[in-house]
Amino acid sequence: MSNKQQTTNTDTEHLENGMVRGLQNRHVQFIAIAGTIGTGLFLGAGNSIALTGPSILLVYLITGVFMFFMMRAMGEMLYQDPDQHTFINFITRYLGQGWGYFAGWSYWVSLIFLGMAEITAVAKYMQYWFPTWPSWIIQIVFLVLLASINLIAVKVFGETEFWFAMIKIIAILALIATAIIMLVTGFKTPEGPVSLNNIFHNFEWFPNGWMKFLVSFQMVFFAYQAIEFVGITVSETANPRTVLPKAIQEIPMRIVIFYVGALVAIMTIIPWRAFSGGGSSLENSPFVMVFQLAGFKWAAALINFVVLTSAASALNSTLYSTGRHLYQLANEAPTKWMNKAKINTLSRSGVPSKAIICSAIVIAASALISMIPAVKNTFTLITASSSGVYIAIYILTMIAHLKYRKSDDFMTDGYLMPAYIILNPLTIAFMLFVYAILFMQADTVVGAVGSLIWIVVFGVYSQLKFRKAT
């Protein structure tokens, strides 16, 4: 398809495949913000700080820079062809059907496990207020509710994500504002006065050694997981070539404000040496600690509400994404059951309803898994393995970008990734570095081995499946 033809399509409300451009600029901008803020910031910030002290700021910045480079590469391809409803299509186009098939199914399976983890978290956060409610009932109710939102229309999904993101943003900005007020007024906590000196007193970049510093990279890397989600919304966005660059270009600013800003605020109020890494729980959340110091006795309930909406937002986005990816797979490499279930069809409102329902049913299995201890342990192993597979898909996307630059599709006046010939390979090297770290610690090595087995076995199978076609 020529650039001229694509520009024409971009200005219409419907795509050739029947999907609707129902997302507005504000939806996409807030979806981009939500994609960079997970529950880990609210519950696990204390663990991050305890792991390697103030140098955690450097880890977030370095990792954020490479994730931004990945988004620039992805954004360049999506800008050239904004009709693609998932970035996996570019892997298929530039690396072949085999790798496209591998990436498509691997990404869908990884998202399914991510959805299972999020729906389990939703039940846990709800039980904070209603401890006697059965976990599986909470999971099913939330799943039905969010699936229904996805089934109505893409605009309804976008509006829901807008308000979910707004809650997270307000919570972080409130934390930063609290730190500024405490700093200006000379507020004193049981640990001492609120001061920037709490960060720099007895300053050490690596208080727990180089290994802890290196290990923190994989933890922070997965805090950014799903940052690519904004790219999946492009094809259903009005004026994608205007909206996409803006959403990606503002990623560095969002990282500085919402991650670095929040961590600096926390360490200004509470000395970094006061954190012992007591786990990612509500009781150990620095957000709860800060708001309680500010006099809000209901801080724990407030942050629980924030992480509940954050988990619900992640689940909502997962249903959106898994539906689009399964729909793509059903169109590109359909199986008999897909054809029978009509997975490759759209509803009257332009939504891949059958694919969304199918994905929701699979995610619902987590409700049953949580009741079977033996299966639950296996599920934990598979979930850990999916993290390594995610890295493989990111790397394939970067390689596809290198191929795109040498193809006839290359758009010289597009949204170009700067210095790609250097930054693209550097980004791939960084992702390989993060994957290698997974093998360096006891709690991630099993998942790393599991992901390696999946990549090799399913990768070889996918190549053999499409060898003749290639």
Contacts of 16 by beta carbon, 8 Å cutoff, 6+ apart: 9, 83
Q: What is the pLDDT of residue 6?
A: 41
Q: Are 69 and 427 in contact (CB under 8 A)?
A: yes
- The tokens describing 164, both together, are 């979910």
CA dist., res. 336 & res. 23, Å (int) = 33
Contacts of 47 by beta carbon, 8 Å cutoff, 6+ apart: 219, 275, 277, 278, 279, 280, 284
Considering the domain boundaries, does residue 77 fall inside one? yes
Three-state secondary-structure class, residue 469? coil
CA dist., res. 265 & res. 262, Å (int) = 5
C-alpha closest to that of 198 among 267, 286, 266: 267
Contacts of 317 by beta carbon, 8 Å cutoff, 6+ apart: 31, 34, 35, 161, 226, 229
Q: Are 413 and 73 in contact (CB under 8 A)?
A: no
Strand-pair partners of 237: 23
| Residue 192, phi then psi, degrees to nearest 5 | 125, -175
Strand-pair partners of 188: 193
Q: Region of 237 please: left (phi>0), alpha (psi -120 to 50) or beta.
A: beta
Dihedral of alpha carbons 52, 53, 55, 61, sign: positive
Q: What is the pLDDT of residue 10?
A: 40
Long-range contacts formed by 450-456: CB under 8 A, 24+ apart: 450/381, 450/382, 450/384, 450/385, 450/388, 451/385, 451/386, 451/387, 451/388, 451/389, 451/391, 451/392, 452/388, 453/385, 454/106, 454/385, 454/388, 454/389, 455/106, 455/388, 455/389, 455/392
Using only C-alpha atoms, the chain has a radius of gyration, in whole angstroms, of 22
Contacts of 115 by beta carbon, 8 Å cutoff, 6+ apart: 315, 318, 319, 322, 359, 363, 366
Considering the domain boundaries, does residue 9 fall inside one? no
Considering the domain boundaries, does residue 5 fall inside one? no
Dihedral of alpha carbons 219, 223, 226, 231, sign: negative
Q: Region of 192 please: left (phi>0), alpha (psi -120 to 50) or beta.
A: left
Give the pLDDT means over successive 10-residue stretches in the chain (470 positions): 40 52 71 69 80 90 94 94 84 93 92 85 88 90 92 86 87 91 89 86 81 89 81 76 86 85 91 75 78 86 88 86 88 82 85 91 80 62 76 96 95 93 97 92 85 94 80
CA dist., res. 299 & res. 282, Å (int) = 10
Considering the domain boundaries, does residue 204 fall inside one? yes
Q: What is the pLDDT of residue 373?
A: 66
Q: What CATH code is carried by the domain that includes residue 244?
A: 1.20.1740.10
Dihedral of alpha carbons 416, 420, 423, 425, sign: positive
Considering the domain boundaries, does residue 14 fall inside one? no
Three-state secondary-structure class, residue 22? coil
Strand-pair partners of 192: 189
Which residue range(s) make up the domain with 302?
22-463
- The tokens describing 40, both together, are 């880990």
Q: What is the pLDDT of residue 50?
A: 86
Considering the domain boundaries, does residue 367 fall inside one? yes
pTM of the model: 0.88
Considering the domain boundaries, does residue 2 fall inside one? no
CA dist., res. 450 & res. 388, Å (int) = 8
Amino acid at 133: W
Q: How many domains does the chain have?
A: 1
Considering the domain boundaries, does residue 12 fall inside one? no
The three-point CA angle 34-166-383 to 5° equals 30
CA distances, 243 to each of 60, 86, 237 (Å): 26, 16, 8
